[in-house]
Structure 1
Amino acid sequence: MVMLSKSLRLQRPDRGEDPAGWGRGDIVAFTNRMGHLSASGKLSASRRLAFTRFVRRVLLRFRTLGLAGPGGLLEGMPVGFALWPEDMPDEPEYTEAGRDLPEEVMRVLCANLDLLEEMSTTEVRVATELLIDTGRRPDEIYTLALDCLETDPDGSPVLVYDNHKAYRLGRRLPIGGETADVIRRQQQRVRARFPDVAPARLKLLPRPKTNPEGTKPVSGIASRHRKWADSLPDLTVPVITMEAGTRVTHLVPFDKARIFTYAYRHCYAQRHADAGVPPDVLKELMDHRAITTTQGYYRIGAERRREAVDRVTALQFDRHGNRVWRAAQSLLDSEHVRRAIGEVATPYGVCREPSNVAAGGHACPLRFRCLGCEHFSTDVSYLPDLKVHLADLLRSRERLMSAFEADDWARTQAMPSNEEIGRVRRLIDRVSSDLDQLTAEDRAQIEQAVALVRRSRTVHLGMPRVGQPLPDVRPPRNPLP
């Protein structure tokens, strides 16, 4: 509002003293002045947007309070003296610098949080941890109240914060137990530092200086975060290229300019998208009004998973455990199409029987005895599921062979056959044997591809789905080896 007042004094002959003389031209002059300050580097794009939004809101409040009416302090203020939607500057574009950070980079950052605390303060370290774990905007973390941690009726921890950008207060975000512990430890530190101040007045991250009552939030985190990121050793990320028909992994330098506080919000979105969280659920987690906004925060699964699918498909097997060789790129391309429209997931592989695929997996007459069907195939990503299935079969047979009260016909139908158990065991041995023959580098790449494919897989078995807790996608804090 001070900047608007300065603009009126500079632009108007009466120095802006008469509200009745204000008009549309004064608004244009004000927005141009803000644009000039931003272009000259004196005002950041984000602060320009925030200031303009604030002025728009205050001018609207003047009118709703009747200050522009007869007898009001701003009597005669024209209707045209207002900021309209077309006057608002564009949202700052974060481009690639705001996209998610590679796992290799996140691993290094999390392993060096102690260094961040040494270079700055505990509050900066806690703020960074919360930015990583919760995906909130920086200002939403910096201004957290001391009593920001609550629990749902089932006892799960919840972060209570204010979405300043959308003017939505008291938002609730489910968080993990380890993140909640970070908040509890910080609450204890703040209470020990300000024992005589009412908790309702305290901030979770109080400013370390000129803050005798703990009511002022921390500031300057972005600059200290930048200094810490620049101090880290050179970062490299693996990039896979094709050389003479062979995949070769190269380590290339990573631009540290991409490591800043807002990037963690993109990381949060991408981790949940990779874990298979539906877009509508992710929209609520990000606290967006429109799902199109959420979709701009992560890369779609088909693009991100294509390379992983290629790697996993190279280790594909039929129900007999015979390797299905797929060397031609055209076959790999068709594999992606089949994954989209020509197959349906089973508990430990995929089914390509047309009628069952058309029915979404609900038309299988074998009742999921997939290993006895020629339309079934599996790949290395299902190896953990096959092992679990074998253990279930053995456990069921042992229980049915014991003193289990049941009619003979029911026991016979429920008893897993030796042929079924043998088929699963041979399939597991065959997949494991092929894995063992890979080089250490190839096996590491296969394991990474399997992890990505399994995170993004949703299996529908014709059974009703129930509400499940969100996946644990919190980056580990373990030190680097």
Structure 2
Amino acid sequence: MQHLCSHLDGLEEMTSADLRFSVELLIDTGRRPDEIAKLWLDCLERDQDGKPVLIYDNHKTNRKGRRLPIPEATAAVIVAQQERVRARYPDTPASQLRLFPSTSRNPAGNRPVSDDWITDRHRRWVTSLPDIHVPTMVQEGGTQVTKMLPFDKAKIFPYAYRHSYAQRHADAGVDVTVLKGLMDHRQITTTERYYRVGEHRRREAVERVVVMQFDRHGNRVWRQAKALLDSEHLRRAVGEVAVPYGGCSEPSNVAAGGQDCPLRFRCVGCGHFSTDISYLPDLEHYLADLLRHRERLAAALDADEWAKTEAVPSDEEIRRIRRLVDRMKGDLNDLSEEERAQIEEAIAIVRRGRGKIVGLGLPRVRQPLPDLRPERTA
């Protein structure tokens, strides 16, 4: 997706600003092509907190005036298009204008472009783009290997942005009921499919991830992934005995909801603890949280010294976490481009399929939505 977004300027040069902005809205909002094509000019509102909201009509289910929260950067795209349309049709009341008016036999600007107009021009743009190489499993010498091969451009079409929008939110841990509302689905079963990962793909992902497994000292644990038992696959993929930032090899430690740990959840000091590369974002956030907590305690004025001493994170725990993070990053950097792409894809699948982690009273980290265009500042 980031590859496509990096070529949006070329889309505008090749076609028009109208098409470029319509594609941006398709990517950002996950609406259907006809819903974007038929937006009214005054489709942008602010809620009670001043946050931008897109007003659109769900034509598929005939539900009018649907409201979708959007980022400020997306709102800025709409405002820019509104200004362009107002300049083009200064004599038409704003309430009668479309956000994307047809340029053919449309003197008043009240007739929208068609979704076919968007689809046809979008196809020509995608066809003109350089190949997008993605990790792909192929047979080589009787075994499956991962190669960086060109992505099938036929799979890149306007409606596919809706699926990408939903999958980004599902992968980031957005609750299924929230995503149901964002997608304006009638049935939650329609939304749930974005949270499902096929067992075959999940098993493959687990096998790739556990190859980069580490003990509490940051030492690499070399394992033959093919020798993993079925129970091991399920445990690592679903997180049935998972603990924050890794896994516990002693299920009795979490049998009571994680409340009977004799070490009081100092996982990185326990011999039963191990982690793998899929927990790197969690470990990074935990390290940052420990450092912030230490600084806050150091600045605390109205607290007894013994209380501050008991509460402050230990230097050894911070060193352990930092060593784990540094070792994981170092091993990732040592991989080839194809190996790294393979591992990153596996990490995304494992994190998506990981089930409920036992709550141990420690900070929970949800994956942030990926920033497809970090250059946008609005």
In 1, distance between residues paired with 2:3 and 2:294?
48
In 2, distance between residues paired with 1:465 and 1:206?
49
- Is there any run of 5+ residues in structure 2 with no aligned partner, and where? none
How far 1:137 moved relative to its partner? 1.3
Deviating more after overlay: 399-408 vs 364-373? 399-408
How far 1:284 moved relative to its partner? 1.5
Instruction: Please state if 1:461 is matched with 2:356.
Output: no
Q: Counterpart of 1:197 in structure 2: which amino acid?
A: T
The answer for the alignment partner of 2:91 in structure 1 is 196
In 2, distance between residues paired with 1:361 and 1:465?
14
How far 1:379 moved relative to its partner? 1.6
In 1, distance between residues paired with 2:295 and 2:31?
51
SS for the counterpart of 1:147 is: coil
Between the two proteins, the alignment pairs up a number of residues equal to 371
- Conservation of the 8 A alpha-carbon contact between 1:272 and 1:473: no
The answer for the alignment partner of 1:345 in structure 2 is 243
Q: Counterpart of 1:380 in structure 2: which amino acid?
A: I
- Conservation of the 8 A alpha-carbon contact between 2:197 and 2:353: no
Instruction: Please state if 1:205 is matched with 2:100.
Output: yes
SS for the counterpart of 2:189 is: helix
The answer for the alignment partner of 2:155 in structure 1 is 258
Match 1:160 to one of 41, 46, 55: 55
The answer for the alignment partner of 2:72 in structure 1 is 177
Q: Deviations over 1:45-84 (max 9, x none)?
A: xxxxxxxxxxxxxxxxxxxxxxxxxxxxxxxxxxxxxxxx
SS for the counterpart of 1:171 is: strand
In 2, distance between residues paired with 1:435 and 1:255?
27
How far 1:331 moved relative to its partner? 1.0
Classify 1:388/1:262 alpha carbon distance in 2 versus 1 (closer, same or farther; 3 Å): closer
Q: Deviations over 1:98-157 (max 9, x none)?
A: xxxxxxxx3443233233333333222222221122111111111111111112222221
In 2, distance between residues paired with 1:266 and 1:473?
15
The answer for the alignment partner of 1:240 in structure 2 is 137
How far 1:344 moved relative to its partner? 2.3
Deviating more after overlay: 243-252 vs 141-150? 243-252
User: Where does 1:365-380 land on structure 2 (aligned, <5 Å)?
Assistant: 365-380=262-277
Instruction: Please state if 1:136 is matched with 2:31.
Output: yes
Match 1:288 to one of 185, 192, 210: 185
The answer for the alignment partner of 1:272 in structure 2 is 169
Q: Counterpart of 1:239 in structure 2: which amino acid?
A: T
User: Where does 1:30-429 land on structure 2 (aligned, <5 Å)?
Assistant: 106-219=1-114, 220-241=117-138, 243=140, 248-296=145-193, 300=197, 304-331=201-228, 333-339=230-236, 340=238, 342-346=240-244, 348-393=245-290, 396-397=293-294, 404-429=301-326
Classify 1:263/1:352 alpha carbon distance in 2 versus 1 (closer, same or farther; 3 Å): same
- Conservation of the 8 A alpha-carbon contact between 2:98 and 2:111: yes
Classify 1:437/1:293 alpha carbon distance in 2 versus 1 (closer, same or farther; 3 Å): closer
SS for the counterpart of 1:213 is: coil
Task: Please give the root-mean-square deviation of Cα atoms over the aligned residues, in Å.
Answer: 3.5
Q: Counterpart of 1:475 in structure 2: which amino acid?
A: L
In 2, distance between residues paired with 1:160 and 1:236?
36
Q: Deviations over 1:370-417 (max 9, x none)?
A: 122232211223344434544554555566567744334323322434
Q: Deviations over 1:27-49 (max 9, x none)?
A: xxxxxxxxxxxxxxxxxxxxxxx
How far 1:313 moved relative to its partner? 1.1
- Conservation of the 8 A alpha-carbon contact between 2:247 and 2:275: yes
- Per chain length, whose mean CA-contact separation is higher, i.e. which structure has more relative contact order (CA < 8 Å, sep 6+)? 2
Q: Deviations over 1:187-224 (max 9, x none)?
A: 11111112222211111111113212111111222222
Deviating more after overlay: 317-326 vs 216-225? 317-326
Classify 1:350/1:181 alpha carbon distance in 2 versus 1 (closer, same or farther; 3 Å): same
* TM-score normalised to structure 2 length: 0.83
Larger Rg over CA atoms: 1
Classify 1:253/1:403 alpha carbon distance in 2 versus 1 (closer, same or farther; 3 Å): closer
In 2, distance between residues paired with 1:291 and 1:392?
35
SS for the counterpart of 1:250 is: strand
User: Where does 1:10-49 land on structure 2 (aligned, <5 Å)?
Assistant: none
User: Where does 1:410-449 land on structure 2 (aligned, <5 Å)?
Assistant: 410-432=307-329, 434-435=331-332, 437-439=334-336, 441-449=338-346
Q: Counterpart of 2:277 in structure 1: which amino acid?
A: V
Q: Counterpart of 1:414 in structure 2: which amino acid?
A: A
- Is there any run of 5+ residues in structure 1 with no aligned partner, and where? 1-105
* TM-score normalised to structure 1 length: 0.67
Classify 1:218/1:417 alpha carbon distance in 2 versus 1 (closer, same or farther; 3 Å): closer
- Conservation of the 8 A alpha-carbon contact between 1:110 and 1:477: no
Classify 1:119/1:440 alpha carbon distance in 2 versus 1 (closer, same or farther; 3 Å): closer
